[in-house]
Amino acid sequence: MTDDFPEPVPGRRYVIDGNNVMGSRPDRWWNDRAGAAARLAQQVAEWSRTHTCPVVLVFDGAPVPEVALLAGGNLAIEFAPRRGRNAADDHIVDLVAANPDPASAVVVTADLGLLARLPTDARACGPRRFLAGIGAPMR
């Protein structure tokens, strides 16, 4: 696994730990989680329109309709199918494992526990590097 920003190329797919990426920016996201999720989803949606690689943005918690509406094209927005500890992490591990080629996956997270559970040939990209790579503001 690496922490560089892997550019979109044919065959690559991205699985993004939405809550982990939100938490990487000190923009007081905790005061408005739904608003922060919508802002992140909008930024990822804009980036997703610049390429054809599949992108799955995964969040913890109950589905937020205004966030889910931002999905489309090559961007899927999913909410962990269960509540509780590591719910989104479990879903991300399942998404990566379900593909016959885990090496094609780029998992965007800084969660060391999640990274340790991924196949060794999956790639990783830290949230700050990912946000810089897609041109999203860091604040």
Q: What pTM does this model have?
A: 0.94
Block means of pLDDT (10 residues each) for the chain, length 139 residues? Answer: 77 97 87 94 97 97 94 97 93 95 95 95 94 86
- CA dist 84 and 77 (Å) reads 19
Kindly tell me the burial class for residue 76, based on how many C-beta atoms sit within 10 Å of its own C-beta (0-12, 13-18, 19 or more).
Answer: middle
Phi, psi of 127 (to 5 degrees): -60, -45
At 3 the pLDDT is 57
